[in-house]
Amino acid sequence: MMNKTLLPALRNVFAWLLSAIMFIPLLLVVVNSFKTKAEANGMNMSLPSDFQWSNYSIVIAEGKLIRSFFNSLLYAGGATVGSILLAALAAYVFSRNRTKLNQLFYFYLIMGIAMPTNFVTLMKVMQWTQLVNTQLGIIVMLAASAIPFSVFLIYGFVGSVPRELDEAGIVDGCSPVRLFVSVVIPLLTPVLVTVAILNFMGAWSDFIHPLYFLNNSDKWPMTLAVYNFFGRFQVNWNLVTADIVLTTLPVIVIYLLGQRFIISGMTAGSVKG
């Protein structure tokens, strides 16, 4: 009886300790973002002698974070909407019509989860389509890179939606588009929110695609703004850490708001299909 009580307690203690260890780097960055330049050079956990709130105003002005914030919002938001729409349509068709051809297309598509990106070929495609150094090009690339994993998650969840609902909608006179929008989409809300949050976080944190395909600093997202800011102020760790906090804050907020959807969506999608 004692072992049954002790084991869960030990697991909880281990989970708390592990969470605390993972939280230390974030806490280190936040604490040093309020220090003076001299205090932040030590990069330790000691509290600042006087909180330097001006660090954030300097970062916003010098790092051009307002413009880069809206650029990141455009890229991440556009890529998220595009990837969800295409992935949901593809996953629904693949799951409901499991022909050999559809199964082949499905497995070919989800190979993109593990296959590395060939940037030489991608650059040629971007040049041919004249999407290099354009905001639309970044959105298309981020959406395309997110589709394989999105289809994989949604495909498993669609299997939990009873086919009888599709049949009932058809009997009521729903067209295929209306059936998908009015009947299927509301039932897929948990997994769609899960995919949306994961795709948004991935697109917001993406660094490689903008670095390779954006030459105009006015179109840079926050990741490149931080990279450029670090190059200019790498000796000012108080400003660098403040820049990092402002960049990661939107992702953390979105994750916390959608955490329960991520858990339910991942769980449901992992046991179906």
Lowest-confidence pick of 57-61, 149-153, 221-225, 226-230: 226-230
CATH number of the 54-270 domain = 1.10.3720.10
Which CB contacts under 8 angstroms, 24+ apart, belong to 229-238? 229/59, 229/62, 229/63, 232/62, 233/62, 235/37, 236/37, 236/40, 237/32, 237/37, 237/40, 237/41, 237/43, 238/32, 238/33, 238/34, 238/35, 238/36, 238/37, 238/39, 238/40, 238/52, 238/55
Query: What is the residue extent of each domain of the chain?
Result: 54-270
pLDDT digit string, tens, across residues 114-148: 888 788 888 899 999 999 999 999 999 999 999 99
pLDDT digit string, tens, across residues 178-225: 877 777 888 888 888 888 988 998 899 898 899 889 888 889 898 888
Q: What is the mean pLDDT of the chain?
A: 83
Q: Which residue has the tokens 């990741």?
A: 223
pLDDT digit string, tens, across residues 60-84: 877 778 888 899 999 999 999 999 9
Structure tokens at 257: 């708001």
Q: What is the pLDDT of residue 70?
A: 92
